[in-house]
Every structure is written in C-alpha cells, then in structure tokens.
Amino acid sequence: MTDTFQNLSVNISELPEVKHSTFFGIEQKYLSVTLIVTGVTFLVLMVGAGCIVYFSDEIDNGLTEFGLALGPLLLLWIGSSLYSIKAFARKRYSLREKDIIYCKGLLWRKRTSVPFNRIQHAEIKQGPIERIFHLHSLKVFTAGGDSSDLVIPGLKEENAQKIKEYIMGKTALDGVDQQ
Amino acid sequence: MESISSKYASPTRQSRVAIGIILIKFIRFTLRSFWPLVLSLFIGRKAGNSFEEVIGYVALGIAALNLLGSVLTYFRFYFHIEGGAFIIDKGVLKKTKTNIPFERIQTINLQQNLLHQMFGVVSLEIDTAGAKKSELTIDALRKEDAEALRKYILEEREQLVDKTSQESAQVTTAEREEEVEETILSLSITDLFKVGVSQNHLKSMAILFAFVFSTLNELTDDVEDLVREQLSGFEEYVVTNSWIVFLGSVIIVAIIAFLYSLINTVLKNFELKLSTRKRGLKLVRGLFNREEISINRSKVQTISWSDNPLRKAFKMFTLEIEQASSAQADQLKAKIKIPGCYHQQVKHVVQMVFPFDISSEHEKHRVSHLLRYRLWLTVSLLPALVVILPAYYFWNPNALWLLLWIPTSLLAIELYYRKRSFELTAEMLRNNKGTFGNTHEIIQLYKVQAVIIKQSWYQRRKNLATVELSTAAGDISIPFIAMEKAEALENYVLYKVESSTEKWM
C-alpha cells in the first residue's frame, strides 16, 4: 500500500482509511419497507399479466397459460425478495470529521463518499410506506450530478435530523473557513 | 467608467436595429414551428385546390403579426444599471422585471450573426449562476457600447466579490496588472481546412441520415411509398444492377457527408482565435454566426484533448474544456470544443488553466488485463449471440456476415485496453484512453465532488474495483484497478478535497 502511488504531497498510508471508519447499519424496519415496495410492484405486474391472459381472445384461459405468465414473475419476486434480505446488512453509513460515506450492494457493491465542503444542500424525505414505519431518508446533493448524490434510507426521524444538522453545521463552517 | 454607469442609469432601449433582428428571430421561430403546415399548404395548392387566396391571407396575417410583435417587443424592452445590479424590464402581454446582482453574473458573452455584422451590432448574453432560466439576452447593442458595458459590469463584480474575501483581493490586484491579452491559438485557413477534412465524417453521415428520415417522416406517413413512387422508373435497373447502385449511393452519401462536415466546420470555426484573459480564456469564432465565449479558469472542471487517425496525420488535437454548470439545459454550452490545436497549444492551455505540464513524464498505471475479458463478453460476444442467431434462423442466411462484428470488436477492445491507463500527481489525475484515436483528460483533484468505488462479484473475486470521480462537469471513471490502488486513490482524493479551501467553481 505504501508504494502504490509516488510523488504525492503526503504519504498515502498515513491518511485515514475510508474502509476502516466506523459504519452504522440502518433501521431493521427498513427491510419491511423494501419488501413491501417489491411486493406491491410485483403484484401490480402479476395482475397486469393475469388480465392480459384473461381478456385476450387469442390466449386460452387454461392453468398452463396462467402458469406460464405468472410463474416467472413469482420466481423473480421470490428471488428479488431474498436478495433484498441478504443485501440488507450491506447498507451502512459512516460519518467522519469531514465527509459522509454510504455503502450498499451484495453482488454489485458501491461505496460513495461525499466531502462536507462539496455538499450543496441536504434534505429529509419520506415515502408513503416509510411513513407507516416512521422512517426517513436523508438525501445529500452535490454539484456532481445524479450519480454523485447520496441517499441514506431507513433512518429514525431524530437520527436523520441529527445527521442533517451535523452536515449543515460542517458545510457552514467550511464556508467560514474559506473567507 | 463613470460615464457607463450614468449612461445606463435610467431605462434604456436597445439599438434600433434590434427591431429587424427581433423580427427575423420571430419569423424564424414561426417557420420552424409551422413549416410542415406551410409546406403541406403549398403542396395542396399544387394539387389544384382553391386554397390559394386563403394561403395568401394567412401568410400576410402571420407576417403582420410578426412585425407588430417585434415592434412592440422592441419598445417594451428596457435595461439599466442600478445599485450594483443589472435590471431588465420587458414583456408585452406578460411584463417581467428581472434584477441580476452583479455578483451573480458568471460570464457575459457577445455574439454576432450575419445581420449583426452588417449593422455593426452585437447581441449580449448574460449567464448567471441561477436556476433553470439562467440567461438573458439583449438582441442588439452597438459593439463598442456592449464591450464597454461588459467591461464595466465585470470590473464592478470583481470589486464586489473582493470585498467579501480579502485574501483573494491581493491575488486579483496582482492579476489585474497582467491584463494583457495573449493569443494562444489563431486558426489559419490551411489549418481550418485540415480540421474540416479530418472531421469524424461517420458522425455527420449519421446526422444526415437522421435528418433526412425525420423530415421525410414528417412529410409523408409512408416513406417507403414515396421512395417507391420516385424510383418506380428505375426499379428494374436497380434490381439488375444492385451492386453498382449500392456502391454509387455509398460514394454519393460519403461525399455529401464529407462536404457537410467540412462546410460546417469552416463556418463554425472561421477565424477562430483563443486568447488569454484576466481570469481565464477568451474564444472568438464563426463566419455567419460570430460567437465570443469567455472561459473562467476557476470554473473549468476537466480539460481533454483527443485525436483520430486522420487528425493524427496532421498532428492536431481537439481540445475540450468543460465548465461547471448548474442547469441541465446549459450542459451543452458548458462544453467548449476547440478543434485544430497543435501539441504546443494544448500544452499552453493546460498550463494556463491548470498548472500542469502535459509533456512531463509520470508513472502510468495500467488497468487490469481482465477488463479485456469483460469487454469481450459484453461488447463482442453477447450482442453477437443476441442479434445474429435469431437473424440467421428467422430472417436471412446472409446474417452470418454479421459475425465479422466479433473479430472487429475484438481488435477494437485490444486497442482500447492497450491505451487505457491513468496517471496521478500530487494535484491532478490524468486519464488516457481511446480505440482508434487517443483521448486524454485531466482533472484537478480538489474539484472532485464525490468519490465512488464500485465492485461487482467478479471484480471482488479478482480483488479489483472501479473508481468514479464525480466533478461538476461529469464523471471520470477508472475501471478494473487493484482494490488497494482504488482505496489509496479514494483516501487521497478525499484528503485533497477536504484539505482544500480553494474555489472549485
């Protein structure tokens, strides 16, 4: 690691490492939100597929036809639910002195780090199903476009509020530093 | 300078020529939105309908409306300067008053199309760091007035900005002294011609095809019928001599595409001149539509330069400067392409905008050779299987010719892999890539907005990762490097961003 890159202004091995910072998991209840959202999506799809088979003149209303239309969807539903359950533990976030980090993904892992002094603004959001579980998402915007925006779902209200204030305090502080 | 602020202290109208210029803008707008209608009316007339008079009245009515509209627009458009802000008061039916404080003005660009040039006026565009509707245009001002106005506003703005930060005040006074403009690049006629000849002609061919088909689509519902009708006499000939016809049309299309991109380039980049300015660069170019673009050094996010096999023969590069942009609509404008730069000029620009020497040697970090396999699979084999097998079985045995895609893409992937590398210095990251040509891009590390590390299950097995650095002008991606390297890069870039207090935009 020490000799990965040369001629930099600091020794990289002395820098704080993102992967060794303390990560927190999100609220367990968020898993239910994910499962319900997937469930609703697949139910809508299956009802749609069922309607097509039922109302179409060219397709018979036999058990085989319904099975062929709905079976794959059911399998996909089960598969994606299992994947969500497995991948849930990978959703973790970390707050450091100068940046915020969020990781996710089981097969395709992704870790996004946004320095506080590049944050444009932060907002707390709540979808309809999140509302049932009293959960909130924190969304952090940068000037870097959609791919660099960071969303931490499944936070309790006081937690989301606390993190947002922490971030906004830090960005304001950086603003003062600059002048 | 006092005279400017007093001259524009009270609401002022534009130069009188503006009426004509607004009129032409109106007519162009009307034609652009209604031309299928106009055309169909004309075709209807040819067919012998008695619409003739109606058409005449409609045309007259539209022309009168346009004229009235442009006159009213002219008389209801005022601008002035008041209390460190630029104020525009306009609108006939819906009156709007816009107040732009100087410090929110990003750049002021002057433009001249053919009409402007005839009357010695320019149009003035004000870009602000605002939300979606981020620009305002004054259609016609006398050239010297516009230049003086721009100079005044930009100087006032600087003083306002300086007041808020004393630290940078010293820097700007130092910079103000070296206000001399120095020409970096001025494209000669021969160079311009070389640029036109070495344009990507395949791209203009695609544009032409798209244009022709969309036009035909708008005119007739059934393009095929039209073509068949037009070519009915030739049909027999076409069938018996299909190879000759095919070759002939390929040659004709190639020539048209070549001329199209040549003429387009010459018109757009005529008398191109790139020079240094106080806080960045200034670009002037164009024959019929003369544009002047200012580039602010601190707003530049990435610089890239690229060639293609044709350009390489002329030793020329296309320089591309991307600036930060808030609104999505401005994205095109934020990307400035300057063709026909020689190595020395690219070097000069990069040196000026970012302090970086492009000819200095740095350690090149290659990407993993496993990237090849991934690309073979996703670019070469999978598309081939998905397209060619069904085509062969259900459509035409000749589809097997498409199998040529596999060796071609394998060759391209090999070239791409060999050129793919990146270099890291204390302040910069340089990305090198390309298949048939070469592209190099540079970013300043402290301007990065977010660092993203991605790892697929395959990459994890091989201990590799992909790093993405987001900037305010798009993402820079480095695929398939060792996880340790990716993490070292992540830590270092975050450190550079977090320890920097410089303005990144």
Considering A77-81, B271-275, B282-286, the range whose residues carry the highest mean pLDDT is: A77-81
Neighbours of B129 (CB within 10 A): 16
What are the φ and ψ backbone dihedral angles of B279, each rounded to 5 degrees?
A: -115, 20
pLDDT of B441: 94
Nearest CB among A15, A111, A117 relative to B497 is that of A117
Query: Which domains occur in chain B, in start order?
Result: 2-177 (no CATH), 179-353 (no CATH), 365-498 (2.30.29.30)
Cβ-defined contact of A99 to B457 (cutoff 8 Å)? no
Segment A86-130, tens digit of pLDDT: 999 999 999 999 999 999 999 999 999 999 999 888 899 998 999
Residues of A in contact with B454 (CB under 8 A): 108-111
Least confident of A1-15, A69-83, B435-449: A1-15
DSSP state of A37: H
Residue B176 three-state SS: helix
Over residues A140-151, the pLDDT tens digits come to 988 887 778 899
* Nearby residues of B120 by Cβ (< 8 Å), 6 or more positions away: B142, B143
Nearest to A147 among B470, B484, B492 (CB): B470
H or E element that contains A139:
strand A136-142
pLDDT more than 70, % of chain B: 83
Report how far apart the first and last C-alpha atoms of chain A are (Å, whole number). 36
Q: Which residue has the tokens 């660009």?
A: B109
- B498–A98 CB contact, under 8 Å: yes
Q: Write phi, then psi, for B290 (nearest 5 degrees).
A: -90, 120
In chain A, the residue whose alpha carbon lies closest to the alpha carbon of B459 is A108
Nearest C-alpha in B relative to A112: B452
Q: Report which of A92, A86, A95, A113 is spatially closest to residue A104, judged by C-alpha positions.
A: A92
Distance, CA of B232 to CA of B476 (rounded, Å) = 53
What gap in Å lies between CA A150 and CA B450, rounded to an integer?
9
ipTM of the complex: 0.89
B379-408 confidence digits (pLDDT tens): 888 988 888 888 888 877 777 778 888 899
The confidence score (pLDDT) of residue B103 equals 77
Q: At residue A6, does pLDDT exceed 60? A: yes
Cα–Cα nearest to B413, from B366, B381, B375, B370: B375
Residue B19 is which amino acid? Answer: I
Mean pLDDT of B263-285: 87
Question: What is the rounded average pLDDT of the residues B334-349?
Answer: 89
Contact A9 B497 (CB under 8 A): no
User: What is the distance in angstroms between the Cα of B159 and the nearest Cα belonging to chain A?
Assistant: 15
Long-range pairs for B202-205 at CB < 8 Å and ≥24 separation?
B202/B257, B203/B261, B204/B257, B204/B258, B204/B260, B204/B261, B204/B264, B205/B253, B205/B254, B205/B257
Residue B440 phi, psi (nearest 5): -125, 135
Contact B308, B198 (CB under 8 A): yes
Q: Does residue B368 have a pLDDT over 90?
A: yes
CATH of A91-178, one of 1.10.150.130, 2.60.40.1180, 2.30.29.30, 2.60.120.10: 2.30.29.30
Whole-number Å distance between alpha carbons of B232 and B225: 10
**What's the rounded Cα separation, in Å, for the pair A126 and A136?**
5
- CA nearest B146: which of B112, B175, B97, B183? B112
In what helix (H) or strand (E) does residue B237 lie, and over which residues does it extend? helix B235-240
Q: What is the pLDDT of residue A150?
A: 92
How large is the angle between the packed helices B18-46 and B52-75, nearest 10 degrees? 170
The greatest distance separating any two alpha carbons of chain B, rounded to the nearest whole angstrom, comes to 82
Q: What pLDDT is recorded for position A108? A: 94
Burial of B243 (0-12, 13-18, 19+ CB in 10 A): exposed
* Residue pairs between chains A and B whose CB atoms are closer than 8 Å: 121
Question: Is the pLDDT score of B225 beyond 80?
Answer: no
Q: pLDDT grade, residue B181 (50/70/90)?
A: confident
With a CB cutoff of 8 Å and minimum separation 6, the contacts of B204 are B257, B258, B260, B261, B264
Q: Which of A9, A95, A110, A113 to mutate to test the interface with B (most CBs of B within 10 A)?
A: A113
Judging contacts by C-beta atoms under 8 Å, the chain B residues touching residue A141 are none
3-state secondary structure labels for all residues of B322-346? EECCCCHHHHCCCEEEEEEEEHHHH
Say which residue, B164 or B186, is predicted with more confidence.
Answer: B186
Q: Is B470 on the interface with A (CB under 8 A)?
A: yes
Q: Which of A178, A171, A163, A155 is nearest to A121 (CA)?
A: A171
Distance from CA of B450 to the nearest CA of A (A): 5
pLDDT bracket for residue A168 (50, 70, 90): confident
Average pLDDT over residues B424-445: 93
Mean pLDDT of chain B: 82
- Which of B426, B455, B484 has its CB closest to that of A109? B455
For residue B167, pLDDT beyond 50: no
Tally of residues, chain B: 505
Mean pLDDT computed over B185-213: 84
The β-bridge partners of B296 are: B280
Q: Token pair 């089981």 is at which residue?
A: A106
Contacts of B501 in chain A (CB under 8 A): 174, 177-178
H/E stretch holding B166: helix B166-177
Q: Give the model's pLDDT for residue B404.
A: 86
Q: How far apart are CA A80 and CA A84, in angstroms?
A: 6
Computed over its alpha carbons, how large is the radius of gyration of chain B?
28
Residue B216 pLDDT: 67
Residue B495 near residue A10, CB atoms below 8 Å: yes
Please list every residue in chain A whose beta carbon sits closer than 8 Å to the beta carbon of residue B475.
Answer: 144-145, 147-148
Residues of B in contact with A147 (CB under 8 A): 452, 468, 470, 475
What is the per-residue pLDDT for B230?
Answer: 63
More confident residue, B110 or B222: B110
Under the banding of pLDDT at 50, 70 and 90, the label for residue B331 is: low
Strands B335-342 and B365-366: unpaired
Residue B494 and residue B479: Cα distance in Å, rounded? 19
Where helices occur in B354-404 by DSSP H, the ranges are 370-375, 382-394
Q: Please give the pLDDT value at position B424.
A: 93
pLDDT reading at B374 higher than 80: yes
- What's the rounded Cα separation, in Å, for the pair B281 and B297? 7
Scan for tokens 């048939």, then name that residue.
B436
- Across the interface, whether the CB atoms of A98 and B488 are under 8 A apart is answered no
The domain limits of chain A are 29-87, 91-178
Cβ distance B456 to A10 less than 8 Å, yes or no, reads: no
- Mean pLDDT to the nearest integer, B192-217: 81
**Mean of the pLDDT values across residues B149-175?**
64
pLDDT of residue B174: 43
Question: Residue holding tokens 């990144």?
Answer: B504
Distance between A87 CA and the closest CA of chain B, angstroms: 13
Q: Which residues contact B403 (CB under 8 A, 6 or more apart)?
A: B384, B388
